[in-house]
Amino acid sequence: MEAVARRVAIIWRARLRTAVLSLLMCPSLLWSGPPSAHPSPAAGSAPASMAYSRASVESMVTAIDQGDNCALLKYRYFGSYSPQALRLADGLSLVKEALTREKPPSRRWLLLAQVAAFAEMRAPGGAPGEADAEDAYRLYGRIFDQTGLVGTDADAFEAAISDYVTVLTFRRVEAGTPFWARASPVLLSALDAYLGLLDSEYAPRVTIPWAVAVDVTGAGDSALKVVDTFEARHSDHEKLECLCALAAACQVAAPERSLALLQRARVMLPANNPVRRGRFYAQLVNLLRLLKHFPEAVEVQRGAVRETGHGQAVLMELLLRAGEADELRTLLGEACAGSVPDGEMLDGADRLEAATGGAPASKPVAHAAEKKLLRAYLDRHRGESTTGTSRATAGLAAALIADGETSAARELLDAWNPPAIDEDWHARIYRSAIAELRHTVEKSETAAADAATAHEKQGR
């Protein structure tokens, strides 16, 4: 039974790590709105916290070009994991009906088309049917081919591109399926449209995960051709955003070329924009990690931490990979002493555990560090009931069970105080994990008690 409990713990650790790291790679997967803004409803539309009724959805569809109604429909209604008063299929029908009354290139058509495409592709709670995916690809393809839409609302055009690319990274379509076959050509259209947008001096508002999307759709070589074509047409494309986008697009097929592009872009970083510098460092570090240039990655991440005050979690992972045990020990001590942001402690625990996949020798160090960070986080927030404490409880309990420390896991799970309301979908993942881990501990204890009873009877 102990072996079964350990296997369950390992499975849950993998599930938790997958959920968390997908969010760390692509923050926009949270679907709580654009990463650069927190949308608020226009006058007369539904508050973000309520379940959307037919009247509220109709109101926002009618006023799609006012306030943040487009973002609210996408992220808070179609992108929500909570039940809605109006079924999503009925809401989509309202959007499609309104779309038939508009013609491109108009701003209303762009906004309605991207809401409809997002709804078809997003499919909260499960994969969409083949017909849904076909409609989504067709609509997104039309959006990206309408270059005149940039003049109507460049921000909305970028949002449509960001939505499509990010959803692809989340769905992880299987190679060889009809979804996969259609995803790649539309992705290339999106990339071409995005490069054109950047060439028009547009300043992007969000970070688009091109490299991940190119990888999951198998479009590496094709994306490289798009890069070649753009560079041939624009010999003077020495612009920071263009170079970063080109580097991301060719990262899969030509990582060394991607690195050269980023090195050219590095000298263009704005001196007084820590947010943009942080995004650049993240892209460069991800590439150096891919190339296994860990000492260089550590040096870049050290600079990022000094400049932004964040990124300690990534630095922990890189120090582990680079074999910098002394500096890792120092950083862990600082984290446990409270000089590292809370979120970095939780992210660091997940990254350290995930980093051992290709380096079994570092597993004991990473495992001990993971438990130390989670214990320190829970000690710091003793008595609180938040998504963070649920995440730390689930992670530490799974680690304890995997080590055979079921009594310690039982004590930890019994002390957990569940939040009154789950803040988002991954909060529900932690709640489910804790329930399953508690059940695993109970089964293990029952099996141990039964074994002890049987042994006592035999002794008689």
pLDDT at 233 over 50: yes
d(CA 136, CA 96): 12
Q: pLDDT (tens digit, 9 = 90+) per residue, 106-130? A: 899 999 999 999 998 865 434 444 4
Q: Look at residue 101 and give its three-state secondary structure.
A: coil
**pLDDT for res 47:** 46
Q: Which pLDDT belongs to residue 179?
A: 64
Q: Distance between CA atoms of 148 and 142, rounded to whole angstroms?
A: 11
**71's tokens:** 């973002």
Q: Rounded to 5 degrees, what angle do the CA atoms 49, 54, 60 make?
A: 70
Three-state SS annotation for 294-325: HHHHHHHHHHHHHHHCCCHHHHHHHHHHHCCH
CA dihedral 199, 203, 205, 207 (to 10 degrees): 50
Higher pLDDT, 349 or 33: 349
SS3 135: helix
pLDDT tens across 322-338, in order? 999 999 999 999 999 98
| Tokens found for residue 34 | 């654009």
pLDDT in tens, 24-75: 444 333 333 333 333 444 444 444 445 789 999 999 999 999 999 999 999 8
* pLDDT above 90 for 417: no
Cβ neighbours, 10 Å, residue 56: 23
Between 338 and 147, the more confident residue is 338
Kindly state the tokens that stand for 26: 């692509």
Choose from 340-344, 416-420, 446-450 the range with maximum mean pLDDT: 340-344
Lowest mean pLDDT among 77-81, 291-295, 405-409: 77-81
Closest CA to 50 of 74, 28, 27, 72: 72
Quick one: pLDDT at residue 331?
95
The answer, yes or no, to whether residue 3 has pLDDT greater than 90, is: no
Query: Which is more confidently placed, 341 or 179?
Result: 341
* Alpha-helix runs per DSSP H in 86-209: 88-99, 107-122, 130-145, 154-171, 178-199
Average pLDDT in the 380-409 region?
A: 90
Mean pLDDT of the chain: 82
Q: Assess contact for 96 and 144: CB atoms under 8 A.
A: no
Question: For residue 286, which of 312, 314, 250 has the smallest C-alpha distance?
Answer: 314
For residues 328 and 191, what is the distance between their CA atoms, to the nearest angstrom? 39
Alpha carbon 305 to its chain's center: 21
| 15-24, 299-308, 416-425, 432-441: segment of lowest average pLDDT | 15-24
Could you tell me if 184 and 224 are in contact, meaning their C-beta atoms sit under 8 angstroms apart?
Answer: no
Whether omega before 105 lies within 30 degrees of 0, making that bond cis, reads yes
Report which of residues 321 and 133 the model is more confident about: 321
Structure-token pair, residue 152: 């109507």
Tell me if the pTM is above 0.85.
Answer: no
What is the arithmetic mean of pLDDT over 183-211? 90
* Torsion-angle region of 84 (φ positive above 0: left; ψ -120 to 50: alpha; else: beta): beta
State which of 33-42, 294-303, 446-455 shows the largest mean pLDDT.
294-303
- Among 115, 105, 119, 104, residue whose Cα is nearest residue 62: 115
